[in-house]
Amino acid sequence: MSEQTVVVAADAYDVVVSADYFQSYSVVGLLAVVGVLFVAVAFGAGRLLRPVVPTPEKLLTYECGVDPVGEGWAHTQVRYYVYAFLYVIFAIDSIFLFPWATVFAAPGYGATTLVEMFVFLGFLAVGLLYAYKKGVLAWT
Amino acid sequence: MNDALDVTLRLLIVFVVFLTFPLLVGQTEHKVMAHMQGRLGPMYAGGFHGWAQLVADGVKFAQKEDVVPAGADRRIFQLAPAVALLPYLLVLLAIPIGPGEGAVGEVVDAGIFFVLAVMGVGVLGSLMAGWASANKFSLLGGLRTAAQLLAYELPMLLTAASVAMAAGTVSLVGILDAFEWWWLPWQIVGAIVFFVAGLAELQRPPFDMPVADSEIIFGAYTEYTGLRFALFLLAEYAGIVVLCGLTAVLFLGGWHGPWGADGLGWVWTLLKTAVLAFIVIWLRVTYPRLREDQLQKLSWTLLVPLSLAQIALTGIVKVVIQ
């Protein structure tokens, strides 16, 4: 009997939690709608207010007043693709910190999770040190 | 029915804050910069100390012709300002300014997560603008923006995680409920790293290499005029409000004040936010622009190790006091 009650209570709890969850994010969604409306109204009003007198010269790409050379999507050297790799690795690692952060000091964890944390930080630090030694943290 | 009214009212307040606070920061920036640099600043519009300067700017922006370069990717070019601006509106909803349910737009359980994720979207607007303009300056600016995001998002995440560890929750309201004053010296390194990284993400001076007006002519915004340019500007100032509010909430105790009645929590939050916004302006006037390689170096060799050290410190202290 009491077991059933517990189950029912747990169910009710789940329902409440998920209701809150959906409520908070539906308010976020509503605000997003408000924002989109704001931008739409601003652009619409802007269209009514502003003059439209395009000339070919005006529509040229700006290049300090001289005629543009080549096209805008020019070849550029992306100098930081190694940074990009580093970032992806580190950012994904650090995302895992958040769920861990909420429980690591809970009773019964204590020293164990602290050691885990140092293992984690050690990995990141060694990775960073390796990248530094390899010279990829310098802008080439 | 009451709930609907309640939600409407909250959304309305958040929206009004979103429209007015950035302008307040902008006007403050005019005046503070003028005083710091020993110049006059806006003095004519509206009569009293040029209070209506931003209104005049707004009227000017609304009247300007909207030029989309013939070579640009038209749709993306036109949408970019909205993408840059709207994330900050959403973030404002989740920042608590006072204790209790009444003083926050909406309690989002995974507050830090939500806020950092949505703030990251704002940078996408600059990237879209930089790529879609089909302009060499814009392309350079866009690529620099990307590089800056890669470098500074990480220390921001790590230091925010440090606060989450200290409080044992990722909810912004929960963090403030758990806040105690001795956290200030404990988390001070994290606070500075978070604030600096946030500045860099907003591309504010001294981290304004991606928009360097004297070098690459406002980078991603070179081709923008009128209302769309104004929205980018608004995004920058809304970003300042959001960053300062978040720093105040995460690191400075938000609504907790050294004295004052319980009902005045929101005054403390606003005060802390205002002081931080003042510092943002102050930094702009004080420091020269960092070069692109110095920007990367600062983040990877200083801020990231510092934030890792902060996490270690937070972990040790937290486990020891248990």
pLDDT at B258 over 90: no
Lowest mean pLDDT among A56-70, B7-21, B83-97, B283-297: A56-70
Instruction: Please report, rounded to a whole number, the percentage of residues in chain B having pLDDT higher than 70.
Output: 97
Among A residues 69-108, those touching chain B with beta carbons less than 8 Å apart: 71-74, 76, 78-80, 83-84, 86-87, 90-91, 94-95, 97-98, 101-107
pLDDT at A1 over 60: no
Task: Give me the phi and psi of A57, to 5 degrees please.
Answer: -65, -40
Among A residues 3-32, those touching chain B with beta carbons less than 8 Å apart: 20-21, 24-25, 27-28, 30-32
Tell me how close the Cα of B229 comes to any Cα of chain A, in angstroms. Answer: 12
pLDDT at B93 over 70: yes
B27: Cα within 13 Å, side-chain hemisphere: 19
**What are the boundaries of each domain within chain A?**
1-72, 77-140
Contact A108, B322 (CB under 8 A): no
pLDDT at A3 over 60: no
The band of B260, judged by pLDDT with boundaries at 50, 70 and 90, is low
Identify the CA nearest to A123 among candidates A100, A93, A103.
A93
pLDDT at residue B151, as a whole number: 82
Lowest mean pLDDT among A50-64, B26-40, B142-156, B272-286: A50-64
Residue A51 falls in which region: left (phi positive, over 0), alpha (psi -120 to 50) or beta? beta
Mean pLDDT of chain B: 85
pLDDT at residue A20, as a whole number: 67
Contact B67, A58 (CB under 8 A): yes
**If you average pLDDT over residues B39-65, what whole number do you get?**
84
**If you average pLDDT over residues B242-267, what whole number do you get?**
82
ipTM: 0.78
Interface test with A, best of B10, B218, B227 (most A CBs within 10 A): B227
Q: Which residues of B touch A74 (CB under 8 A)?
A: 136, 139
Contact A121 B311 (CB under 8 A): yes
Please tell me which of the candidates B15, B107, B147 has its beta carbon nearest to residue A83.
B147
Q: Which residue is closest to A73 within chain B, CA to CA?
A: B134
The model's pLDDT over A59-91, given as tens digits with 9 standing for 90+, comes to 877 777 777 777 767 676 766 677 778 788 888
pLDDT at residue A68, as a whole number: 75
CB pairs under 8 A between A and B: 211
pLDDT at B278 over 70: yes
Q: Rounded to an integer, what distance in angstroms lies between the CA atom of residue A103 and that of residue B309? A: 20
Q: Which residue is closest to A76 within chain B, CA to CA?
A: B140
Contact B137, B217 (CB under 8 A): yes
pLDDT at residue B255, as a whole number: 81
Lowest mean pLDDT among B42-51, B159-168, B233-242, B274-283: B42-51
For B264, the token pair is 């005045």
pLDDT at residue B131, as a whole number: 86
Q: Which residue is closest to B64 within chain A, CA to CA?
A: A50
Tell me how close the Cα of B96 comes to any Cα of chain A, in angstroms. Answer: 14
